[in-house]
Amino acid sequence: MRLRRTAATAVSALALALSLPAAPAGAATGPFTYVYTDRTGTPHVGLLPDPVSRVCITLPEVADPALPPAHTPKNYTKSVATVFAGVDCTGDFFSLRPNGGHGSERLKVRSVVFS
């Protein structure tokens, strides 16, 4: 049931992101999604629609080190997304290609920067 709810939320978030207006200058055009778990243990899909380029973005839902990191990032932007295990773009990192690059549940994420 939880997986079905997460999948439905992800599809809804992607549909919403694709219907948003054009990106402002300096933005990585397109949506970036990730899965995070709230304090009750419920998974949710996070969304960064048209995120700013060349600026480190700490994912707000997982900035608190007491919470588990996000995972399963999906990069639907037109820019390379480099995800980091720590806040403020610190720690281990991995690059996701533009237009569909993604990571599995094993890829732990707390921040991201777009080229």
**Cα-based distances in Å from 76 to 39, 56, 58:** 27, 18, 18
The tens digit of pLDDT for each residue in 32-72 reads: 999 999 999 999 999 999 999 999 999 999 999 999 999 99
* Number of Cβ within a 10 Å radius of residue 109: 25
Q: Is the pLDDT of residue 27 over 50?
A: yes
Which pLDDT score, from 0 to 100, does residue 13 have? 46
User: Considering the entire predicted model, what is its pTM?
Assistant: 0.77
Give the mean pLDDT of the chain. Answer: 86
* Number of Cβ within a 10 Å radius of residue 94: 15
The tens digit of pLDDT for each residue in 77-88 reads: 999 999 999 999
**Cα-based distances in Å from 15 to 60, 76, 96, 112:** 21, 12, 21, 22
Q: Is the pLDDT of residue 5 over 60?
A: no
Rounded to whole angstroms, the Cα distance separating 53 from 104 reads 23
H or E element, residue 105? none
What is the percent of the chain with per-residue pLDDT over 90, rounded to a whole number?
A: 76
